[in-house]
A and B are shown apart, each in its own frame.
Chain A
Amino acid sequence: MEPSIVELKGITKTFQRGKEPIVVLDGLTLEIPTGSFEALMGPSGSGKSTLLNLIAGLDRPTQGSAVVAGANLVSMSDGELAKFRARHIGFIFQAYNLLPVLTAIENVELPLLLTNLSKTERRERAQTALRVVGLEERMKHYPRQLSGGQEQRVAIARAIVNDPTIIVADEPTGDLDRKAADDILNLLERLNKEFKKTILMVTHDPHAAERAGVTRKLDKGQLQ
């Protein structure tokens, strides 16, 4: 049994809507082993994205303890969380979130700008990441010159370029057709199996969830 990379205990997350508190996560406990590929499913409003945000260090729980990659996220400042994300988290978004004015390789290189690598080393790494996702020949293309599937592959290259501890993917195939979605899922599977990356994927799509080793279901802020 691999040690846990994510350890959440008694996590509660409450948002305030006017005077009324909305409980999105309700005393949730979760452990994710290192090197696993897990899917998180659930209806809209079940708290999937909120949970993903907490694990990725984008948000803090209202209550409970959250240790990810050995770091206690609850006690971290905004600046420390930013450093944590830069070091440990690779993000894949539903809408790709590439910067439209940067080329594919420049987009991939972005996370490396937060490291001490030289320009040459950054370029080499970004090129390698694009090779892994099969887009080396498109590295000088702007996002508008790529298809949706290709954009998401560039986003995956950006997510893996700094060798993160965990990849978090929020509906990574939500905007893609079946064929492009399969390509992306194949790629995620390969990253998990070949490169031993821990992947946590939020999805509505049962077909996508099937590709993950573990599927967890969330409803009303609790894991089923």
Chain B
Amino acid sequence: MIPVSYNLRNLTVRKTTTAAVALGLGLVVFVFASVLMLSNGIKKTMGRSASPDVAVVLRKGATAELESVIEEPSINLVLNDKELPLPATGPRGIAELVVVILLDKVGAPGLSNATVRGVADGSLAFRPNIKIIAGRAAQSGSDEVTVGKAIRGRFKGLDLDQTFELKKNRPVKVVGIFEDAGSSYESEVWADLNLVRASFRREGVVSVIRARVEPSKFDGYKASIESNRQLNMQVLKEAEYYDKQSEGTSTFIAAMGIMIAVFFSVGAMLGAMITMHAAVANRQREIGTLRALGFSKASILFSFLIESIMLALLGGVLGAGASLAMGMVNFSMVNFASWSEISFRFEPTPGIIAGGIIFATVMGLFGGLFPAIRASRVSPIDAMRS
């Protein structure tokens, strides 16, 4: 076998070309890994909102909290079902109303949707992971709101001690900022349930009921609620609910991103192919000499393929490395399920990084294949003639 050092040194000899092609391939890997990280970030952000022992109760047929309408009398029936055990601590469940409002964006022209969650006493106690990190909790029955840290400052009036209009002539004051380990709650405004009902003329209804159910009791509870025709409701595990919420957006992002990366990859592969063709043309005599010395056509083909793959791997490592830096970037976009802005982070995983590098290897393999075949067909007599 022709030593790998031969290929490695040839790559270092033509530094500029190697760098240019590696950067092109790296860009493709960067796009590929970044979109997968973003797609994963969306799933993780939504997934972080889920607790394993929480059931989400929605109106049958509703695919999101925003679409669901539950009348007040049903709340007691749902939370006092015989299959719902009393939790050791904290409230048995909570009922919330979710609406979307239009607010002025900060730092960008135009308006965008923000999710407002009407919460009752016990919402914070029901979600013990949520912490007030600035200011204080809003007082029940007041015009005070708390804001998730991801949405803080992204809209006009959404910062501590600022005010904004929940609805026309309904000013509310931000008295606290909360965090929840990067979950989608951090992209919400939390206001008093009755205030939201009154502001949006939704008296007597909520969007969603959350109940505390041990995983082993979930099936019994679900069967009990869903079989009650009077209620006409569906019960989902919270993780399952958020999976469905993130599915559309994350799949769209991943599909778009992969499509863009595949288009880019054609250009990058052509770049690698042209470079490798040039390398073969410039090294005719070397190839002929190797053939004369007794190296087979297969070993020449393999050697040039290895060189192309090494070039692609360099690009892959550069691209994957650069995509890791995206982990520090926060990204805000409309979630298709709630039609409101949610802040996401690019979430890398070893699988995504490995996938990016494998993608680069495949580009190197395809980009280098034809030049390598051409190299393997060089006649050894050329070495004697040149």
Contact = CB atoms under 8 A, between A and B. Distances in A.
A83 interface: yes
A1 interface: no
A137 to B, nearest CB: 22
B154 interface: no
Chain B interface helix/strand/loop/mixed: helix
A97 B292 CA distance: 11
B294 A58 contact: no
B289 A106 contact: no
Contacts of A56: 292
Contacts, number: 72
Interface stretch (A108-116, A192-200, A208-216): A108-116
Which size bracket describes the interface of A in this complex?
20 to 34
A101 B295 contact: no
Interface stretch (B2-10, B91-99, B120-128, B189-197): B2-10
Contacts of A97: 285-286, 288-289, 292, 383
Contacts of B297: 78-79, 82
B13 interface: yes
A110 to B, nearest CB: 6
Interface string A170-204: 10000000000000000000000000000000000
A85 B292 contact: yes
Sorted from nearest, which 7 A-B pairs have the closest CB atoms?
A: A86-B294, A101-B9, A97-B289, A85-B294, A58-B380, A82-B294, A82-B296
- If over half of A's interface residues share one DSSP class (helix, strand or loop), that class is named, otherwise mixed; here it is helix
A139 interface: no
Contact of B381 (A53, A82, A114, A158): A53
B10 A58 contact: no
Contacts of B9: 101-102
A99 B381 contact: no
Contacts of A99: 6, 286, 289-290
24 contacts: A49-B384, A49-B385, A53-B381, A56-B292, A58-B292, A78-B297, A79-B297, A82-B297, A85-B380, A86-B293, A89-B294, A91-B293, A95-B285, A97-B285, A100-B13, A100-B286, A101-B6, A102-B5, A106-B5, A110-B293, A111-B293, A113-B3, A114-B293, A114-B294
Interface of A: 49, 52-53, 56, 58-59, 78-79, 82-87, 89, 91, 93, 95, 97, 99-102, 106, 110-111, 113-114, 158, 170
Contacts of B2: 113
Contacts of A82: 291, 294-297
Contacts of B6: 99, 101-102
Interface string B289-333: 111111111000000000000000000000000000000000000
B241 to A, nearest CB: 60
